[in-house]
Amino acid sequence: MAHFPAPCPVVRTSEDGLALSRIVAGMWRMGEWDMSAQQRLTFIQQCIELGVTSFDHADIYGGYGVETLFGQALALQPGLRNHMQIVSKCGIKLKSPARPAHTIQHYDTSADHIRASVDNSLKALGTEHLDLLLIHRPDPLMDFDDIAETFEGLRAAGKVRHFGVSNFSRHQFESLHRRVPLVTNQVEFSPLHLDPLFDETFDGLQDKGVAPMIWSPLAGGRLFGDDAAATPLRAKIRQVAEETGRPFASVVFAWIMQLPCAPIPLTGSGRIAAIAEAVEATRFTLSRPQWFEILRAARGHEVA
């Protein structure tokens, strides 16, 4: 494996919760990376050497195919499983050739579906347990008591060690958290999507001592695009990058991780250089004026 300096640190998602790497490798697009199983294995090894030991999945990623791609790579060196944390999600049913019985895209957080999804994920990944299982989206028909009981059953069976949610509001998170301990809420956040900063999501998680996971921290690549509305924001991030001597993406990751709720960002790239830029963000902090300059550019106005 290649050699990288100063590996990514580890963070606990809650006081008694799961330890994840400070940067998590998101596998959403693995099916688009056009890698052989050996190339996927090499990528996983390089992530681990960087200290990025946590890998984020969902049953639906890649049309229900990404977990299998990851499992095929892991099967080439099964011992790596002891050096990583695997996260997956369930609760969305897609219309897909892989699931011909699904006639409409919808949510399903019933006990039967959660248990079946976990079994499918374990088989695809070639592992005996998930380190963390998330409910992918809030379901209008979800029963908090039923979900909590299902989670406890999966824990007792040794199939899942920790539980969380994704894209839940503060109230939804706290309603389930009162019934079963949750270790994270994975939400969208970036300088182009600030909602969790102002809708009590981050405040509520900080209050509970729970670290959020962050998807799309680079706004799905829009921060690198040519959207005229984001031009002042890009210019400000470039300025801070020049002031700190750090890459553009590293500045964005550092800006996110500076929040006191200790956000854990996900990457979305199959390029190890991009993962390394995310890890670089763990090695510096922005000054308070720099942090607020980016916020001001993101919002288009002063704080008051």
Q: Which domain holds residue 29?
A: 10-299
pLDDT in tens, the chain (304 residues): 444 446 788 888 888 779 999 999 999 999 999 999 999 999 999 999 999 999 999 999 999 999 999 999 999 999 999 999 999 999 999 999 999 999 999 999 999 999 999 999 999 999 999 999 999 999 999 999 999 999 999 999 999 999 999 999 999 999 999 999 999 999 999 999 999 999 999 999 999 999 999 999 999 999 998 888 899 999 999 999 999 999 999 999 999 999 999 999 999 999 999 999 999 999 999 999 999 999 999 999 998 8
C-beta of residue 234 within 8 angstroms of C-beta of residue 242 = no
Asked if residue 146 is part of any domain, the answer here is yes
How far is the CA of 114 from the CAs of 71, 122, 180, 214, 222, in angstroms?
20, 12, 15, 23, 33
Asked if residue 163 is part of any domain, the answer here is yes
The CATH number of whichever domain residue 190 belongs to comes to 3.20.20.100
Per-residue pLDDT, 100: 95
C-beta of residue 256 within 8 angstroms of C-beta of residue 217 = yes
Tokens of 269: 């790239």
Query: Which one is catalytic: 61, 64, 189, 255?
Result: 61
Asked if residue 1 is part of any domain, the answer here is no
Closest CA to 262 of 175, 183, 192: 183
Residue 188 buriedness (CB in 10 A; 0-12 / 13-18 / 19+): middle
Collapsing DSSP to helix, strand or coil, 262 comes out as: coil
Gap between the Cα atoms of 78 and 82, Å rounded: 8
Is the whole-model pTM more than 0.85?
yes
Asked if residue 87 is part of any domain, the answer here is yes
Go through the chain and tell me how many residues it has: 304
Closest CA to 59 of 18, 142, 118, 112: 118
Q: Quick one: angle between helices 37-49 and 66-75, nearest 10? A: 80
107 is catalytic: no
C-beta of residue 48 within 8 angstroms of C-beta of residue 19 = no
Number of structural domains (the chain) is: 1
How far is the CA of 61 from the CAs of 58, 119, 253, 304, in angstroms?
5, 16, 23, 41
Asked if residue 292 is part of any domain, the answer here is yes
Asked if residue 42 is part of any domain, the answer here is yes
Tokens of 273: 């250089």
How far is the CA of 161 from the CAs of 20, 143, 182, in angstroms?
13, 21, 11
Asked if residue 239 is part of any domain, the answer here is yes
Per-residue pLDDT, 17: 78
Asked if residue 304 is part of any domain, the answer here is no
Residue 121 contacts by C-beta under 8 Å, 6 or more apart in sequence?
Answer: 57, 59, 67, 88, 90, 130
Q: What's the gap between Cα 286 and its chain centre?
A: 23
Give me the residue label for tokens 């060690």.
161
